[in-house]
Amino acid sequence: MDYDAVIVGAGPAGLMAARKISSKGFSVLILEKEKDLGTRACAEAVSVSAFETAEIPPSQSLISNTINGAYVFPPDETKGVRISGGDYRGYILNKQQFLYALASQAVSAGSDLKMRCEVKDVKMEGENAKSLIYSHKGEDKEVTFKYLIGADGVGSRVAKLCGFDLSGFEIIPTIQYVMVNCKVPERDIIRIYMGNEVAPLGYVWIFAKNEYVANVGIGVRGKPAKPYLDKFIASHPDVFEGAKVVKEGGGGVPVGGQLREIVKGNVLLCGDSAGQVIPITGGGIRTSMGAGSIAGACIAEALESGGSG
């Protein structure tokens, strides 16, 4: 089957791009390899402006907690700094529900969304991609298109198969526990812990989702993440004594900045696959949505002008 655009990855970037293209009347196929949206571990913190970028109104079904400030702790935690007041405000998302909302908008605009579809190969003619082969329920299928977007995150198959220059694409390990029965003081204030003994060249976060659940995670550079997170939890019994891990997840976060090359022929990368995260914090939800929105608008404009790669 032929589409105007095929998008690999149903995360914030891919879903925003799909909506932008479909809303102009063009055919879009979104391929997602997982069986559900939002399966990747995520701290889920965003600024209030994230909903403006998403072009959807904030609602209680999409928000787990409202954040009114942050504590930043150096190695000597008695010297922690509180940042709050003014316009400092954000949310801890229910990211899965948030992605469902973005998916609903994309599908409503006309996008075709298929889950459990793993990219096997991309057929190229010069620098242009002509078709993509993906596996769905054990069957290989081929789809053709005018434009291809790789929004498939760290380790992007699209980037590798289409020969993008990935030099300088630095990835750091992260791990996050979802924990219950944490005694987090001031649940509307996120907590960041820094220092080489705590998290080498990274930080630990404690983000309360509500009175029962908290996201507790770490990102480090040049070291394994899990031992440092376990050590941190053990050294803070005031918060974690009696708490239990109910979910564990992890993954890589690109921190080297945007790739030098994000467009090649009729193929475009956006989101984590293009390194479009905030290098200092590793946050990528809003930047990915913004990148996806721009990518989708550009491809829609090219299609309107009769471009085909």
Q: What is the pLDDT of residues 193-238, one digit of tens each?
A: 999 999 999 999 999 999 999 999 999 999 999 999 999 999 999 9
Buried b (16+ CB within 10 A) or exposed e, 223-253: eebeebbeebbeebeebbeebeeeeeebbbb
pLDDT the model gives residue 86: 80
Of 11, 14, 102, nearest to 62 by C-alpha is 102
Residue found by looking up tokens 């459990």 in the block:
116
**Backbone torsions φ then ψ of 105, nearest 5 degrees:** -65, -40
Cβ-proximal residues to 222 (8 Å cutoff; 6+ apart), any chain:
200, 201
How does DSSP assign 89-154, residue by residue?
-EEEE-HHHHHHHHHHHHHHTT-EEESSEEEEEEEEETTEEEEEEEEETTEEEEEEEEEEEE---T
d(CA 29, CA 2): 9
- Quote the tokens at residue 288: 């990915």
Whether 218 contacts 202, CB under 8 Å: yes
- How does DSSP classify residue 183? -
CA 141 to chain centroid, in Å, comes to: 27
Q: Please tell me the predicted confidence (pLDDT) of residue 308.
A: 55
pLDDT of residue 307: 61
Structure-block tokens of residue 6? 């095929």
**How far is it, in rounded angstroms, from Cα 150 to Cα 189?**
35
Q: Which helix (H) or strand (E) covers residue 189, if one does?
A: strand 189-194
Q: Check residue 168 and give its pLDDT.
A: 79
* Calpha distance 179→176 (Å, rounded): 9
Residue 257 is predicted with a pLDDT of 87
Phi, psi for residue 194 in degrees, rounded to 5 = -125, 165
What's the pTM?
0.94
Give CA–CA dist 35/32, Å, rounded.
8
Which residues, 6 or more positions from 217, have their beta carbon under 8 angstroms from its beta carbon? Answer: 41, 43, 174, 175, 176, 177, 204, 205, 229
Instruction: Give CA 222 to chain center in angstroms.
Output: 22
- What is the distance between the alpha carbons of residues 113 and 133, in angstroms, rounded to a whole number? 16
Tell which residue, 73, 66, 76, 83, has the closest CA to residue 204: 73
Under-70 pLDDT residues of the chain: 279-280, 307-309
